[in-house]
Amino acid sequence: MHATALVVSNDSSYQVQRDDSTTISDTEEGQERRWDEPTPQSQNMHVADDVNALDMATENQRRSYLGVASMSATLNAIFKLCPCTRHHLATRQGTTGRVTATSNAVSSNSIAPVSTNLAREQRYIAFYFDTVHGITPLLNEEDFCATHAAGQRQDRSWLALLNMVLALGAISSGSGSLHTYYYNQARCNMGFDCLGSGNLESLQALCLLGGYYLHYVNSPNMAYAVLGAAHRMAIALGLHRESASSNADSQSKEASNRPCNIVEQRRRIWWSLFCLDTWSGMTLGRPTCGRWDSGTMDTELPTLPSPPDFIISSLIASTRFCLIVHQIQERLAQFNRITLAEVSAYDQELQRWHEISAVNFRTSTQSMPSLKIAWQFMNDRYLNSRMTLYRCLVLYDAHDMIQTGIAVHGCELAMTVGLALAEEAIETITLNWIPSCFSVWSSTWYLFQACMVPLLCAAITTKAAQLQPGASTAILDRCHATLNKAQEQFEEIRPWMKSADRGPDVIAGLNEGLASQIRVFAAEMPDPHGFGDSSHVCDEWLSEASWKALLADNEWLLDDTF
């Protein structure tokens, strides 16, 4: 299955048929996009971030470019359909999106130097290989541990990589703040200079920094830029092409007996980077920037050794999943709307992948329990990718309803399937979450994502009931039950969550706002056109934050991708 690509001519007279929602350009706003992510070692840390849009209710600054697949698009739709949701969310969040640094962000000046402790470092390295390595096997565990134990290397590339491994291992172990110390140590050996010294260890360090750590400390735009640099470095190192000696190596008995020869290691690094970049871009709506092009890139998948290495099986399964998601991301970044037929085709492709992978992983996780985290991550991403496809179709209905003032029911199937997927995702997380900081970090994010579908469906249904008296609101009970179950799960995993994570509060605030909006609509008698007196809804809040500011913050109405 291949979605039809939109080919744009180089002829300047050629006009692309854009989505009809592009009615306002950025230049007309007179402002440039911008973002300001505090550095990970800053004393003040955003409890939310620009990409995840959790502080949209309290901050009106221009944001980075995000498309129809983003959280910004979904939350803005909810705010426009039901203005009270923004008021309730702002009340819960307070007047600012920042909190004093706690366990998740500690000033570099406030951390006392940590003495070298070989036993502690070995413990963190073990945690790293028990968690992160099963998801993206960037490293050769045997070689890495031997080099660390020897303690002879002091070059910057090695120190950067070692400290990134220790930082992620500290997070996996449940350490509250020590990961910041190791990040600072890695940072001292990784600045711009590392881009001028290309080697595999510098590349691996960048992958861990941009693929994991910066997301953990709520700096997704920095992570996006770092992974972009890592991709360029990987190409400069030639990882995007099969080595001329790879065929000869594969014929060599000596090479096949080695735990991980250099050809296989290069493949594993390349595809791990590809997966990290794909996962990071799943809910951005941004162009893929040539992440994979079969016309110029021919790196083969890692070879599965005999006996099978289940960690390599995990990477191969992740790569095949990401090749599908890469196509989806390219399609969602185009100007014109994705169709229901395209969504169905992509969905079927994802389901075929899952049927094969699920069988393999059931066997793998029984043989190697550490792969349970890898399977948890993979399964959550699978359901999230399917939800994102259908959520985009629901957003089109939301946009049309806002633009026309008429109740729209263009894609009821998308709402039905999206809700079913959200329920499945919440159920899956409830049954399979693992009580560890690293695992719960992922579960929290995908639980938050799953809540967006019932919230959006409830907002559309509520607005439709206002615009079209007598319209069915039966789906609201289903949305409410789904959100309640998610909130119960948030409470269960809260002891392992980051203290700065406000996802549960955001969901609760939006849910309260929707309930308030329903009460307001029920108390009003709409006029024949379906608008009634709802113009005074939340007047107290609207006097504090003008409609002009609200409209300026509606990025999804401005972005060409919607």
The structure's pTM equals 0.83
The helix or strand, by DSSP H or E, that contains position 98, with its residue range, turns out to be strand 98-100
d(CA 164, CA 161): 5
Length of the chain equals 562
Residues 283-308, buried b or exposed e (16+ Cβ, 10 A)? bbbbbbeebbeeeebebeebbeeeee
Number of other residues whose CB lies within 10 A of the CB of residue 191: 10
- pLDDT on residue 518: 74
Contact 520, 83 (CB under 8 A): no
- pLDDT on residue 144: 97
Residues 232-250, buried b or exposed e (16+ Cβ, 10 A)? ebbeebebbebeeebeebe
Per-residue pLDDT of the chain in tens (562 residues, 90 and over written 9): 444 433 333 443 334 445 543 332 233 344 566 655 656 554 444 444 566 655 554 455 556 788 888 888 898 899 999 888 888 787 766 544 444 333 444 444 445 456 578 899 999 999 999 999 999 999 999 999 999 999 999 999 999 999 999 999 999 998 878 999 999 999 999 877 778 788 999 999 999 999 999 999 888 899 999 999 999 999 999 999 997 655 544 545 444 444 458 999 999 999 999 999 999 998 888 899 999 999 999 999 999 887 778 889 899 999 999 999 999 999 999 989 999 999 999 999 999 999 988 777 766 555 566 688 888 899 999 999 999 999 999 999 999 998 888 887 667 899 999 999 999 999 999 998 988 889 999 999 999 999 999 999 999 998 888 888 777 778 899 999 999 999 999 999 999 998 778 888 889 888 888 888 777 666 654 444 443 343 343 433 333 333 233 333 333 333 333 2
Contact 125, 169 (CB under 8 A): yes
- pLDDT on residue 385: 97
Contact 357, 324 (CB under 8 A): no
- pLDDT on residue 516: 81
